A and B are shown apart, each in its own frame.
Chain A
Amino acid sequence: MMAGDLLRLVGVSKGYARGDQRLHVLRDASLEIAPREIAAVVGSRYEGKSTLLRVAAGLEQPDEGEVWFEQRELTRASGSERAELRSGIAWVHRGGSAVRLLQVIDYVGLPLATGRGRGKREVRELAAAALARTGVSGCARQRWADLSNWERVLVALARGIVARPGLMVIDDLLDGLGPRRTQEASELLASLVEELSCGVLMSVSDIEGALAADSVLTFERGRLKWIAEASDADIIDFPGESRGGRGVTGAG
């Protein structure tokens, strides 16, 4: 795979109808993420982080622009093709409504449970391995409500890696953890990225959560702006093993 071609957003705009007006949340946003690159979007609520992430993950269609994943255009893919592409992208967040009904092990296995022809036992084994990798095997039989905030982060990461995705899109997972836990989560994330050779696009509300990122972006009136751009050396150097080359181009 060539540098920078894991995820590519080109001129993406997205808005929502509000009455007779159009609210422009994203304007001409472009970015590239390479395998083994961690890119963080820093911003407060309501700036467009989640919209950007949902579009990048293929959960929402942009009004304009293109989204490419592994050199295939997600935005123009047919239903089945889109589903196949999306199976390579993990959407990582701190739980939705479904999670409350399931045991943690089944929640973590959800990305494997649909349309992949795997039996329940195999799914559970893989989910158990993912939970073990993030250090929360003991939570497997618990419910979401019983977990601490920190355990939820680790369970969410386990769910993120269970299908060995090419890209993890992580929505506000590292927010509000405090310095020690933020550092711990960042180190874990970096090591998972190493193991899976995947890329990461994540949103954080403050710069502390972005310290592990190779590239840092923020918004300026709906437009993406780079604070830090990764170089090949950044990605190769951190955290000590080869991470493959890439290139980042400017954003809208």
Chain B
Amino acid sequence: MAVLALLAEQSDSQAGVNRRLAERYPGARFADNSAHKSLPSLESQGLVRRAAAVGERPLDVYEATVKGVELVERWLYDSSAVLPALRDELRARLQHVREPEGLPAMVEAIEAQEQACAGEYVAAQKRLRAAQRQRKQAGDGGWRGVVEIALMRDEAILWGSLALRRQRMREYLEDPAGMAPLEGVDDGG
């Protein structure tokens, strides 16, 4: 749907769609060839088509059809609640870990994820700051900018929170009975 939504905004080549996917969805980890994989299917469903060659425009430019634009509009304003899936690999691996032999390796894997999430937090926070600075300098109070800042804040918060959640999970697994001697106790604040 992301590929179709991008084409509904603006006709583009496969490479252009891939570039915009990376720009607009920096944390989504779309594969480099996402457009290449999605476009044939979207085309066969009549949701996109190849745009007519005009002047020097490359032949592989795609545009959304009327049907495709309508589908994007319905998707955008759909009021039904669709729960995001808690479907990450680490949680699945934890479901199958053979205790106690497997636990040290899992703890190590969780710690690696903590660090990776913290790295994503830093990257997302940098993008947010750059965007805020750019908006401030440009005096941009437009709607698109507001949405972008909201999404960037949300992404940074998600990565930071995930890093902390992973740490909490690791601490719990390392000491499930809470037997660590007198640490992390009430300091009144």
Contacts and interface: CB of A to CB of B under 8 A. Distances in A.
Mutual binders A and B: yes
Interface in A47-103: 47-51, 53-54
B129 A221 contact: no
A228 interface: yes
A240 B136 contact: yes
Given A208-B157, A211-B125, A46 B164 contact: no
A18 B118 CA distance: 35
Given A211-B128, A227-B118, A237-B129, A206 B161 contact: yes
Given A45-B189, A228-B118, A228-B122, A222 B183 contact: yes
Nearest to A15: B182
A105 to B, nearest CB: 28
Interface stretch (A20-28, A126-134, A140-148, A151-159): A20-28
Nearest to A226: B118
A221 B121 contact: no
Given A48-B187, A51-B187, A227-B118, A216 B182 contact: no
A171 B188 CA distance: 12
Nearest to B132: A239
A169 interface: no
A238 B160 contact: no
Interface in B142-182: 153, 156-157, 160-161, 163-164, 167, 171, 180, 182
A194 B162 CA distance: 31
State the majority secondary structure of interface residues on B: helix
Given A207-B157, A211-B125, A220-B167, A25 B133 contact: no
B73 to A, nearest CB: 28
Interface residues of B, number: 29
Contacts of B55: none
B164 A24 contact: no
Contacts, number: 93
A50 B187 contact: yes
B124 to A, nearest CB: 10
Contacts of B126: 234
Contacts of B125: 211, 228
A247 B81 CA distance: 47
B156 A221 contact: no
B153 A183 contact: yes
Contacts of A53: 189
20 contacts: A16-B187, A21-B182, A23-B185, A24-B183, A25-B187, A42-B160, A45-B189, A46-B186, A46-B187, A48-B187, A51-B189, A208-B153, A208-B157, A219-B184, A220-B171, A221-B183, A228-B125, A237-B129, A239-B136, A240-B137
Interface of A: 16, 18, 21-25, 27, 42, 45-51, 53-54, 171-172, 179, 183, 203, 206-208, 210-211, 216, 218-222, 225, 227-228, 234, 237-240
Interface of B: 118, 121-122, 125-126, 128-129, 132-133, 136-137, 153, 156-157, 160-161, 163-164, 167, 171, 180, 182-189
The 7 A-B residue pairs with the shortest CB-CB distance in the complex, in nearest-first order: A50-B189, A207-B160, A51-B187, A25-B187, A221-B183, A23-B185, A46-B186
